A = this chain, B = another copy of it.
Amino acid sequence: MSDYKHPHQDAEFVLNELVGFDDLCAANGFDDINFELASAILTEAGKLGSEVLAPLNVIGDNQGVKLTERGVEETAGFKEAYQQFAEGGWSSLIADEEYEGQGLPNVLCTAVNEIWQSANMAFALCPLLTQGAVEAIAHHGSEELKQTYLPKMVSGEWTGTMNLTEPDAGTDLAAIKTRAIPNGDHYLITGQKIFITWGDHQMTDNTIHLVLARLPDAPAGVKGISLFVVPKFLLDAEGNPGVRNDVKCVSVEHKLGIHASPTCVMSYGDKEGAIGYLVGEANKGLAYMFTMMNCARQGVGLQGVAIAERSYQQALDYAKERLQGTNKDGSRFAIIKFPDVRRMLMQMKSATEAMRALAFVGAAEVDRAGRAQDEADQRRHQARLELLTPIVKGWITELSQEITYLGTQVNGGMGFIEETGSAQHYRDARILTIYEGTTGIQALDLVGRKTLLNKGEALAELLAEIEETVVALSKHEGFAEQGAALREALEAGNNARNWLLENAAQDPAAAGAVSVHFMMLFGYLCGGWLMGQSALRAQTLLDAGEGDPEYLKAKLVTAQFFSEHLLPRTKASLETILKGSASIMALSEDQF
């Protein structure tokens, strides 16, 4: 089991130097918010994460959850931790003040969320899902639904869930079969949903389910899906939980990781039908889901940063403590002295910093797009947000697999032993490239909706911006090599974009076949871009005698490492992209 300490210097460096937090607040109407406040919030969150949530992480992994007659029983200690979390106001950071939220910028909430996800990913999924449900109701629900449900969800008194998947409808939501029958002022919902995260528990006295279902006269496919609010307990006249609704968890999955997060099979309407309330208009459920997708997907990308950071901290502790080399005089030294162990730790550190940079920069676009003062600005930021989201989700979560793998590898034989703690991070991380849209889905989104649909415009703007960093690096004597490396990666990005625009129309399989390499290429390129910016900022601060010189000098090294060890992957990706779909599609199904 490993301790956790929030890497506040790096989080604050990214907020200040890459996001421009104070400017973002000033330009987007966050009038009372500034970096000083943000830093204080992060410090407090760091304490709760380290002291309360992190120690429960291994307990949750060992004990998991169980389904009893009462429903799902969460891990012992989680209820008390959740109450502390809610009472501290941590569930209300992002929500509108209208619903008793604190209205903080998304990028700050993202920085805070990293702490929860590092400390205890299984726990932190519960408020993350609740936040998604709050957004759905806030954006699309009637005034009555909002007033009825939001304040208590925002305060953390109730939690929320998202019910999309069914046994035959995963990625392909067109196949949803759950039915909703109109019945007076409400609907009766019948059907089964699977993979429902925190679908049931005893931590709060109500859970508000958001459920996709079909009305009787709904068109086939994705255009016939509606969204409903289905509370676990129906509310009485005072708005308090009363009679139990006809919905329950019928089983929990036995999973590879995140054992403390109950993944439920939910059954709606075993008796008379679960009472639900339509959100917004009929048949627009999937569109409503799409409006929340950027935040949800970026949230999972952030989990990749968080689990990589936790795994890195564990591996680093082990590498400093484990004596396994013998000096000539017979004394022993720790394995961190070995160059290959260093290589692994540097890979973990450098990649995690790049991932954090991209996650926060992507999160800031949510603020900028949502609050832009003029239309051109809004369009520009919305396009960037849409473009970055699949990269944040896809690239970061894929890279987090490698980082948590290296975390166990640094531990040697102990890495395979569960008590060491590293294996849990490795197992927990494994869900990240799967849920909230697999890597393949992110990649398809990037090549399709985010690139081909706008003829590569959004990507061209990003590439032009990256070029500015190339120029700035190249001008600076100390960063000429990094500038050259970023330029080569940029060329790879340009070539990949051009290839896709030229070939997608001729070959229907081309975009899908190259998509994951395409997404990974742009992930590494964005990482190199932001690490290049980081190096320039760190040098400026060092030259000015500002900031912590040890931290800033280390940043120069992690940026150099990224440029030397991770950026070259863009060229290998490009090479496979240029080969197109031929060898991927050549076999008949029987030849596999």
* Interface mask (A316-349 → B, CB under 8 Å = 1, otherwise 0): 1000100111100010100010111111111001
A124-160 interface bits toward B, Cβ cutoff 8 Å, 1 = contact, 0 = none: 0000000000000000000000000000000000000
Shortest beta-carbon distance from A1 to chain B in Å = 13
Does chain B have a CB within 8 A of A214?
no
Chain B residue numbers with a CB within 8 Å of A170 are 324, 412-413
Distance, CA A564 to CA B257, complexed state (A): 34
Q: Which residues of B contact A175 (CB under 8 A)?
A: 324, 326, 332
In the bound complex, residues from chain B placing their C-beta under 8 Å from that of A435 are 413, 416
**Cα distance A418–B170 when bound, in Å?**
18
Verify B316–A592 contact, CB threshold 8 A. Answer: yes
Contact between A325 and B576 (Cβ–Cβ < 8 Å)? no
> Which residues A226-261 have CB closer than 8 A to chain B?
253-257
A590 within 8 A of B: yes
Instruction: Determine if A255 and B418 form an interchain contact, defined as CB atoms under 8 angstroms apart.
Output: yes
**Which chain B residue lies CB-closest to A509?**
B339
Contact B581 A440 (CB under 8 A): no
Measured CA separation A324–B171 after assembly (Å): 7
Residue A583 CB within 8 A of the other chain? yes
Contact of B554 with A583 in the complex, beta carbons under 8 Å = no
Contacts of A172 in B (CB 8 A): 324-326, 332
Classify chain A: how many residues form its interface, as a range: 35 or more
Q: Is A264 an interface residue (CB 8 A)?
A: no
Contact with B along A381-410 (1 / 0, CB 8 A): 000000000000000000001000100110
Contact of A330 among B220, B338, B426, B575 (CB under 8 A): B220
Q: How far is the CA of A581 from the CA of B342 in the complex (A)?
A: 10
User: Roughly how many angstroms separate A405 CA and B433 CA in the complex, as a whole number?
Assistant: 10
Segment among A10-18, A81-89, A296-304, A512-520 that sits at the interface with chain B: A512-520
User: Does A589 reach chain B (CB closer than 8 Å)?
Assistant: yes
Is the C-beta of A33 less than 8 angstroms from some C-beta in chain B?
no
- Cα-based distance from A405 to B431 in the complex (angstroms): 11
A-B contact pairs, 7 of them (CB 8 A): A165-B413, A254-B418, A338-B440, A339-B581, A340-B444, A342-B513, A550-B591
Add 17 more A-B contacts to A170-B413, A339-B581, A346-B584 (CB < 8 A): A171-B412, A175-B324, A220-B330, A221-B330, A338-B512, A339-B512, A339-B585, A343-B513, A409-B440, A413-B435, A416-B430, A427-B427, A557-B586, A557-B591, A560-B583, A561-B584, A565-B583
